[in-house]
Structure 1
Amino acid sequence: MTEDHRTVLPYGAWPSPITADTITAGSVGLGGVTVDGPDVYWLESRSNEGGRSVLVRLAPDGTANDVTPPPFNVRSRVHEYGGRCHAVQDGTVYFSHFADNRLYRQMNGQEPQPITPELEVRYADLEIDLSRGRLIAVREDHREHDREARNELVALQLGGPNPEGGGVLATGADFYASPRLSPDGHQLTWVEWNHPNMPWDETRLMLAQIAADGSLSNVQQVAGGKNESVQEPRWSPGGVLHFVSDRSGWWNLYRLKPDAQALYPLDAEFSTPQWQFGSSNYVFLAEERLMCAYHQKGRTHLARLEFQESGWKLSELATPFTSAADLRVQGQQVVLRAGAPNRAPCIARLSVSGDVEILHESSTFTLPPADLSVPEAVEFPTEGGRTAHAFLYLPRNAETRAPEGEKPPLLVMIHGGPTGATDAVLDLSVQFWTSRGVAVLDVNYGGSTGFGRAYRQRLNGEWGVVDVQDCVNAALYVAERGDADIHRLAITGGSAGGYTTLCALTFSDVFAAGASHYGVSDAEALAQDTHKFESRYLDSMIGPYPQEKARYQARSPIHFTEQLKRPVVFFQGLEDKVVPPDQARKMFEAVRSRGLPTALVEFEGEGHGFRRAENIKRALEGELEFYGQVFGFTPSGITLGLDIVLSP
C-alpha cells in the first residue's frame, strides 16, 4: 500500500490553489455568439471591468480583438435579463448600450453612434432586415408611467435617427420574442404570449406576410396555444419554418410543411427556458440537415439530424462537451459555447463529423487533474415516490487530506429561476469549495428544466414546498450514504435559489446554516413589487394574487422567523429591481433579533446578480468565513472580515 504523504487538516481548512481572485481575475462570462462571414463574435462579461459586457471579434487569422470600446456595455434590460442585443452585418455592428438603453451602430471600428434617441425604451432580439435598411427588434416601452411597460415588435432604420424609437409592427400581446425573417425577406415569424404565462408555459407562434411598405399583413397563429410552449422559430435555407414545441411533453423539433410535423420525437429537450432572448439549440447545414443540442438528465448531447430515405436520423457526435448553447452556423461548421466537467465554458468550432477547434477559453486558470472534483450524476428518491436529480462534487486536493473518520461538510447549491437548471461544466466557484474540503451538491429539483414538461410543472402551485423537499432529500441521501457529515449540511442559492434556501432553513431542521444571495423572503412582496416579465410568474407557482394571499404568506419565511433556528448570511445588490433590497434587510433584522449568527452584505451599484470582481470575491470569501465560524474550521487563504452579528 502506498503511503499517503498529504498534509492532514480538517475539512474546510484545506489550502486551495483556487482563490476568489483566481476566479474573478482570470475568467470571463461568455455568450452572444454571432457569425458574420469568416468572422466570429461573442460577448465577454468582465468582472474586472465592473461587469462590463464587451463584444469581441475573432478574425480568420486567429486574432481576437475588442470591438466595443469603453465605456460601452453591450447589454439589454428588456425583461431585465436581456439577450440577443447585438447584430452584425458585413462588419457593421448594432448593439444596445446598458447605461442609456439606446441602440448604436459601429462601422469599421469607428466610434459607436446612436441610432435611437434618449427615450424610456429598451431593445432586444435584434434582427437585420437588410433589403429594407432596417432592424426589427423587441421594444419594451416605459414611457407611460401610469401603466406597466408595453412590449411590441418595432422596425428601426439602420442609420437612424428613429425619432419615435421605431415604428410598430406588432402590438397587443403582453410579450414578444424571436422575430425571424424568411430567407426571401417576404415573411416574418415571431413568438408571443400573455400574462399570466411565462414563455415555458404557453406561447403562440405567429406568421405574417411583409407588405411592400414594410408593414405586416395576413397575420396568423400557426402553432402553440393552450398548454403548449413554442420556442426558437427558425427558417430552413429553402424557407420552411421550423420551431421547438413541448406539445408531446418534451421540447422537440417540428417543421411547418404545411402542418406541424415532428422531426425526431425523443424524450429529450431540444431547447432551454427563454429567460434571455436569442437561444439557439439548432442550426441548418442544408435544407434537411441540422446540427442540434439536446438535453437529457442534465447532460447536453450534440448531434447531426438529417433526412434519409428511411426518415429522419439522429447521429450523436463524440465531443468532449457535456454542455452546449448558442449554436451558429458557419459554412458546414458550427460555432458554439460549450463546456465539460474538466473544461470551463469556451467558444468552439465543430465540424459535421464532431472535430473540435477551441477558439477561446473563458478562463486562463488551469486546475491540475489531481485537484479537480468531477461531478457524479445523482438520482435520489423524494416525496411521492418520485425521483429528482443532482450533481455531487466530493472534496479533492492533491496536497491535503482530512483526519481518519471525519466526514466533510456538504454545501447544497440551489440554482435560480426557479425554472432553470444546473449542468456538469467546470465551475471554479464550485471547485473553490471542493478544493478546501467542502462537498458540493448541485440540485436540479422538481421544476428544473431539461427533464420534460411534467418535471418542470412539479413546481406548479408548490414553490417553496417541492423544491425544499427535493433539496432536503438530496442532502439526506448523500449524508446517509456516507459522503457528508449530516450535522454540517449547509444550503446556498441566489434569487429563487435564495428563496428555497430561506424556506429550507425555516421550514425544515436538516440544514445547519445557509446563505441567501439576493433571495426572496416575502413571496407576497415579490408578487406586489417586481418587473413586468415576472409579475405574474407566481400565479402558476403559488397561485393568483391576491386571491391566494394566505398561501403567499404561508410560503414566506419572513412570517415564520420564530421557526428559524439556524445561522444565515445575506448578500444583496442595492440596485436589484427583481428582488428589492428591502427583502434581505427585513429578513436580516428578523434573524438578528433571534440572536442567531448572521450578517448582511450590501453592494452599491449591483443589481440582480453580482458582476464586479471585488463584490464576487467578497461574497465568496464571506460565505466561506461564515461557514467556518458555524462549523468550527478556519478557512485558509482568504481575507477575513465579515461583520457577523452574534446577538441583537
Structure 2
Amino acid sequence: MDVTPREFAVRTLAQEYGGGSGAFAVQGDTVVFSNYNDQRLYRQTIGDSSPFPLTPDYSGPVVRYADGVFDPHFPRYVTVMEDHRNDGLNPVTTITAVTISDRDTNEPTVLVSGNDFYAFPRIDPSQKRMAWIEWSNPDMPWDKSQLLVGEVQKRICIAGGNPTLVESPTEPKWSSKGELFFITDRQSGFWNIYKWDEQSNVVIQLYALDAEFSKPIQNGRSYVGVLDHDLGTFSTLDIPFSSVTNIVTGDGCFYIEGASATLPVSIAKVNLDEKGTVATNFSIVWSSSADVTKYKSYFSLPEFIEFPTAIPGQHACAIFYAPYSPSFQGSSDEKPPLLVDLQMKHAGFWILMCSIGLAEDGQLLTSTMEEAQVVPPDQTKQIYKAIKDTGLPVALVEYEGEPHGFRKADNIKFTLEQQMVFFARLVGQFKVADEITPIKIENFD
C-alpha cells in the first residue's frame, strides 16, 4: 500500500548519501518524512492522502533532515538537521526537535550543536535523555567518533572520548528498561556489540567475533543472528538474504529488508522457534520485482575473493561474478572481458567510480554528478585526465543536477545504455540491438 501521494518523494539529501533509512519514521498511524523536492519535513496520518508540512519553507532544499525519531516523552520529532543556508559546502549540522502536535509549521529547536557531524539521535523510553553519535572533520565516522548521552544540563561521553583509544562507536539503541547498547571497534578493530553499565560507568563487550555487527559501509556479505547477551551466545539464522538493510521486530517474529544475488530487494517476515535461535519460517511479503526470479538461471553468483596488492603483506578483497549463461558458452582459448566496479579513497573523500569498464587493454568509462559534494566533480575529472593522458580509451559523462548517486530516471537509463555501447565497441566488438547514439570515447574515436 502506498502511503504518501504520488507528488511526494520520500528521500533526504542530508550528507548526500540519503541519511540511511532515516528519511522517515513511523509511530502508530503517524508517519513523518522528508520530501525530496523541498527537503521539508511532513506529517501524514496513514490512510489520509494529505501530508502537511512541519518545517518552514526556506525557498529551496537548503535545510535537510535525516535519521529522525519520535520522542516518547514530548510531542516532537528529534532529528539531525543540516543547514546549507549560509554555506552550501560547509553546512551547519545539529540535532533538533520539531513540534508535531499541531498543523502549524515551526522553526526547529536546537538540542545539540557545536560539532561537525551528528547521527543516531536515540531517546531513552524510560527517562528523558538521549544518546547520539558525533564526529569532527577530517575524521570519517568509521575512523573516529564519539557516543554521548545527554540530559538537561548534563552530558556523558560513553565511548570515543579516551584520547589513547581510537574507536568509532555507532548505532546506539535503548532497551525499554533504559539499557544502552551500541556498536564499537575498540578492542579487535571489528564492530562488535557493547553495553554501557551505567552504575559503574564502564563499557562491557557482549560478544566477541571477528566480524562487523553492523551494516557494511560499502560492500560485504550480511548475516542475521540472535545474540543472547545474558548467556553470551550467538546463533546465525539460515535465511536467503545476503544483503540486509533493515530489521524491525514484531510480535513473535521480525521483518527484514534485504536482497541476494537471485532475490530483488524485498521485505520478508521471519518466525523463530521457541528458543529464538532457529528461523522456522521465511516468507516474502513485498518484492520490488516479483517476476525477476524466473530469470534466476541467468544470474551469476558472487564469490568473495582476496588477492595480494603491490604493497607487501597487504591484501585487497573483492566480490567476483564469473561470466555465466545457460544458453551460450565462451571460447576455451579466449579470456572473457572483466568489468571492475572500483572505489578509491582520495584527498579525504571516498570516490565512487560509478561505471568502470576494464578490459585487458584498460578502457575506462566514468561519470560524475555536478552537485555532488561528498565526492566533488573535480576529483573525477582529475582521474579522467590522468587516464586520458596515458593514451587509453576513456569517456567522461557529467550529469547536471545530480547529487551523490543517480536519481533521475533518464540519467539512469542513459548510463546503462552507454555502458552497454561502450563495452560493445571496445570489448565485445558487437552491435547492440537498439538504436543508441554513442558518446565520444577519447583515444578511440
Same fold (TM over 0.5): yes
The CA deviation at 1:160 is 5.2
Cα deviation, 1:68-110, whole Å, max 9, x if unaligned, reads 1122111112212232021112211111112112111112413
Which of 327, 330, 355 matches 1:399? 327
**Does structure 1 residue 496 correspond to structure 2 residue 424?**
no
**Residue in structure 2 matched with residue 114 of structure 1 by the alignment:** 53
The CA deviation at 1:148 is 3.0
3-state SS of the aligned residue for 1:314?
A: strand
**Residue in structure 1 matched with residue 275 of structure 2 by the alignment:** none
State how far apart, in whole Å, the 1-side matches of 2:334 and 2:69 are: 57
* Structure 1 counterpart of 2:410, one-letter code: E
**Number of equivalences:** 421
**Does structure 1 residue 357 correspond to structure 2 residue 283?**
yes
Which of 373, 379, 385 matches 2:300? 373
The CA deviation at 1:378 is 1.7
State how far apart, in whole Å, the 2-side matches of 1:196 and 1:252 are: 24
More helix per residue:
1
* Structure 2 counterpart of 1:360, one-letter code: W
**Residue in structure 2 matched with residue 100 of structure 1 by the alignment:** 38
3-state SS of the aligned residue for 2:339?
A: strand
State how far apart, in whole Å, the 2-side matches of 1:635 and 1:370 are: 25
3-state SS of the aligned residue for 2:222?
A: strand
Query: Structure 2 vs 1, CA of residues 614 and 141 (structure 1 numbering), >3 Å: closer, same or farther?
Result: closer
Matches within 5 A, 1:429-440: none
**Does structure 1 residue 630 correspond to structure 2 residue 392?**
no
Cα deviation, 1:405-447, whole Å, max 9, x if unaligned, reads 22211112224xx5xxxxxxxxxxxxxxxxxxxxxxxxxxxxx
The CA deviation at 1:333 is 1.6
State how far apart, in whole Å, the 1-side matches of 2:361 and 2:250 are: 49
**Does structure 1 residue 254 correspond to structure 2 residue 194?**
yes
Cα deviation, 1:332-364, whole Å, max 9, x if unaligned, reads 322121222222221112223312121111223
Tell me if structure 1 keeps the 8 A contact 2:16–2:403.
Answer: no
Unmatched 5+ residue regions in structure 1? 1-64, 210-215, 276-296, 419-458, 465-493, 519-572
**Residue in structure 2 matched with residue 532 of structure 1 by the alignment:** none
3-state SS of the aligned residue for 2:353?
A: helix
State how far apart, in whole Å, the 1-side matches of 2:350 and 2:145 are: 25
Query: Structure 2 vs 1, CA of residues 103 and 235 (structure 1 numbering), >3 Å: closer, same or farther?
Result: same
**Residue in structure 1 matched with residue 222 of structure 2 by the alignment:** 300
3-state SS of the aligned residue for 1:180?
A: strand
* Structure 1 counterpart of 2:139, one-letter code: N
State how far apart, in whole Å, the 2-side matches of 1:264 and 1:499 are: 37
Tell me if structure 2 keeps the 8 A contact 1:624–1:635.
Answer: no
Query: Structure 2 vs 1, CA of residues 404 and 129 (structure 1 numbering), >3 Å: closer, same or farther?
Result: closer
Which of 340, 356, 364 matches 1:514? 364
Percent identical across equivalent pairs?
Answer: 36
Matches within 5 A, 1:61-76: 65-76=1-12
**Normalised by the size of structure 2, how large is the TM-score?**
0.85
3-state SS of the aligned residue for 1:629?
A: helix
* Structure 1 counterpart of 2:150, one-letter code: A
**Residue in structure 2 matched with residue 127 of structure 1 by the alignment:** 69
Query: Structure 2 vs 1, CA of residues 495 and 517 (structure 1 numbering), >3 Å: closer, same or farther?
Result: farther
State how far apart, in whole Å, the 2-side matches of 1:404 and 1:104 are: 59
Tell me if structure 2 keeps the 8 A contact 1:85–1:124.
Answer: yes
* Structure 2 counterpart of 1:265, one-letter code: A
Which of 253, 257, 264 matches 2:207? 264
State how far apart, in whole Å, the 1-side matches of 2:355 and 2:258 are: 28
Matches within 5 A, 1:192-211: 192-209=134-151
3-state SS of the aligned residue for 1:620?
A: helix
**Residue in structure 1 matched with residue 182 of structure 2 by the alignment:** 243
The CA deviation at 1:193 is 1.4
**Does structure 1 residue 82 correspond to structure 2 residue 18?**
yes
3-state SS of the aligned residue for 1:366?
A: helix
**Residue in structure 2 matched with residue 315 of structure 1 by the alignment:** 235
**Normalised by the size of structure 1, how large is the TM-score?**
0.60
Tell me if structure 1 keeps the 8 A contact 2:421–2:432.
Answer: no
3-state SS of the aligned residue for 1:378?
A: strand
**Residue in structure 2 matched with residue 325 of structure 1 by the alignment:** 245
The CA deviation at 1:591 is 6.6
**What is the root-mean-square deviation in Å for CA atoms of aligned residues?**
3.0
3-state SS of the aligned residue for 2:366?
A: strand
Query: Structure 2 vs 1, CA of residues 384 and 91 (structure 1 numbering), >3 Å: closer, same or farther?
Result: same
3-state SS of the aligned residue for 2:420?
A: helix
3-state SS of the aligned residue for 1:412?
A: coil
Matches within 5 A, 1:474-623: 496-498=351-353, 511-518=361-368, 573-581=369-377, 597-623=393-419
The CA deviation at 1:632 is 4.9
Unmatched 5+ residue regions in structure 2? 273-277
Cα deviation, 1:531-585, whole Å, max 9, x if unaligned, reads xxxxxxxxxxxxxxxxxxxxxxxxxxxxxxxxxxxxxxxxxx3443444555656
3-state SS of the aligned residue for 1:628?
A: helix
State how far apart, in whole Å, the 2-side matches of 1:377 and 1:366 are: 23
* Greater RCO (CA < 8 Å, at least 6 residues apart): 1
Query: Structure 2 vs 1, CA of residues 635 and 414 (structure 1 numbering), >3 Å: closer, same or farther?
Result: farther
**Residue in structure 2 matched with residue 184 of structure 1 by the alignment:** 126
